[in-house]
Amino acid sequence: METLKNIVKELRTQKDMSQGKLAELVGVTRQTIISLEKGSYVPSLLLAMRISEVLEVPIETIFIKENVE
Amino acid sequence: MKKTVFQCFGNVLLFTLMGLAFMFPFSEVTQMEIGFQGTVTIFPILLIAYLIVYPIVHYILVKKYHWGKSANSELAYSDEREKIIVLESTKVAYKVLIGGLIITIAAIGGIEIISLSTSMDISTYSPSIALLTVLLDIATISYCVKWCREYKK
């Protein structure tokens, strides 16, 4: 099964940004950011692009497709 | 999650009170030549009291916890994950409601057939109201449980 892993938490903490602040900047709730960082929620392309813009990191660096057995 | 739980609990209470108010609106009913005479039970009064109190409590909680639609908090309708959660929960509640309605119709039909075949005068009014009330409550609880489970993921 394919899944989408991400390094949002690492990049966010590097930027010293809170989950609430990131949520506000990308236009979602804090709970969505929590879920996304845990890997239990796969974001839409639009949200992924917004996160990429805010964190100033290419989208393919943040989100990595993985195969899980 | 608090908002959804509060709203679902409020709806369950409303449906239950409505059901009770419609099932037992009067006591000591006496049939008269024109109309009837009876004493209003506690349930319609409780329903009216609830309809007055609930919006006030809701308004206070909206202000206290910033439950506004545009707020960056729970039930922000622009949030894509919440849209999915609402979709999943609605699907569950819909299934429960449709399944329950089929059972309810069958049950009412069954009561009618028993009434006809035994020549007993069985009223279908109260059982119908009771079944619909229970169904609405179960559908609302199903929605709430699914919503909370999805939200916690």
Domain residue limits, chain B: 2-152
pLDDT exceeds cutoff 50 at B62: yes
Q: Closest approach of chain A CAs to the CA of B105, in angstroms?
A: 40
Partner-chain contact B74 A43, CB within 8 Å: no
Partners of B88 on chain A (C-beta within 8 Å) are: none
Partner-chain contact B81 A23, CB within 8 Å: no
Q: What is the pTM of this model?
A: 0.81
Amino acid at B96: V
Cβ contact B74:B2 at 8 Å: yes
HEC sequence for B6-37: HHHHHHHHHHHHHHHHHHCCEEEEEECCCCEE
Q: Does A37 touch chain B (CB under 8 A)?
A: no
* pLDDT digit string, tens, across residues B14-29: 999 999 999 998 888 8
Partners of B74 on chain A (C-beta within 8 Å) are: 29, 31
Q: Which domains does chain A have, with CATH numbers?
A: 2-67 (1.10.260.40)
Q: Does A24 touch chain B (CB under 8 A)?
A: yes
Q: CA A28, CA A5: separation in Å to the nearest integer?
A: 19
What pLDDT, on the 0 to 100 scale, is given for residue B120? 85
- Residue that is written with structure tokens 């449906």 in the block: B15
